[in-house]
Amino acid sequence: MKKSLRIIRKVSLVLLTAVAVIIACGCTKDPDNGGNGGGNGGGNNGNTYNGHEYVDLGLPSGTLWATCNVGADTPEGFGDYFAWGETTPKTTYEWANYKYCNGGENQLTKYCCDANFGYNGFTDDLTTLQSTDDAATANWGSGWCMPTKEQWEELKNNTVSTEQMMNGVSGRLFTSSNGKTLFLPASSGNTHVYDGYYWSNSLYTENPYRAWRFYIGPDGGCGMSYYGGRCLGRSVRPVRSAN
C-alpha cells in the first residue's frame, strides 16, 4: 500500500511539472533554447533569440520576425505603445510630451531633414532611428530592431494575408510560401474598431514630423501609411537578421 502511494505521488509530481511548463510557454522563452530554423508565428515554435521567439517566413532578405509585440506575452497581445523614437511607454501621447521636439510638430530637435520643421531651423538629416532610439533594441537587446519600411513591404508582398481571430482578438495572419505564419493583432487599442498600427524605423522625409507605419484595417487591407504624427503611440513588432 505504501509503495503504491509513493508511485502515485511521483506520477502526480511529473504531471504537475508538465502542466507548469505548458503554461509558461509563450513568446518569451529561455534564451538557451534558441534555434536557427523557423516555426509558426502563433507561438511555441522553439526558435528564440535573446529569449524572444521568432519565425522564419523564408523571405528574400532572410529577415526573421518576432512572434509577439514588444510588451506582449502572446502573439495576440497588444503589448506596449511607443511614440516614434521613444523607448518607454507612456499614459498619454502628444507633442507636448514628445521626446524629440520643443512642444510642437514644427519644433523637432532630432530626425529632421527640413528646416521648416526643426526647432530654430534645426536639421540633422537622420532618416532612420538610431539604436538608442529603437524601442525593439532598447527593450529586447542588441540583434532586435524595428522593421524598416522595406521590410514591412517585403512581408506584405511575399505572403498571403487574411483576417483572422486568435483567442478572441482580431488581427491579420500572414502565410508564407514555406507554410509558416505570422499573426499581427489589430492593436489600435480601440476595442470597437478593427485596425492596427505598427511603427517602422523609417522617417517620412516629405514631412519629418511623421514616420512610416504599417496599417491593418477593417476593409481587409494592409500596407504602409504615414498619416499621424511621430508623437502618437503605436505598437512595435521586432525583427532580426538571419545572421
In a domain, 41, yes or no: no
119-154 per-position pLDDT tens digit: 999 999 999 999 999 999 999 999 999 999 999 999
For the question of whether the overall pTM of this predicted structure is more than 0.85, the answer is: no
pLDDT at 243: 75
Count of structural domains, the chain: 1
Residue 196 maps to a domain = yes
- Give the residues across from 171 on adjacent strands: 164, 185
Residues of the chain with pLDDT > 90, as a percent, come to: 72
Residue 176's Cβ-side half-sphere holds a number of Cα atoms within 13 Å equal to 22
Q: Does residue 151 belong to any structural domain of this protein?
A: yes
Going by C-alpha positions, the residue among 127, 146, 125, 143 that lies closest to residue 135 is: 146
**What mean pLDDT, rounded, does the chain reach?**
84
Range of the domain at 126: 56-240
CB 193 within 8 A of CB 179: no
pLDDT, position 242: 85
Q: Is 34 domain-assigned?
A: no
In a domain, 2, yes or no: no
Average pLDDT over residues 173-188: 93
Residue 1, in any domain of the structure:
no
When pLDDT is averaged across residues 87-97 and rounded to a whole number, the result is 96
- Percentage of the chain beyond pLDDT 70 is 78
**Distance separating alpha carbons of residues 226 and 95, to the nearest angstrom:** 17
Q: For residue 40, is it within any domain?
A: no
3 pLDDT above the threshold of 70: no
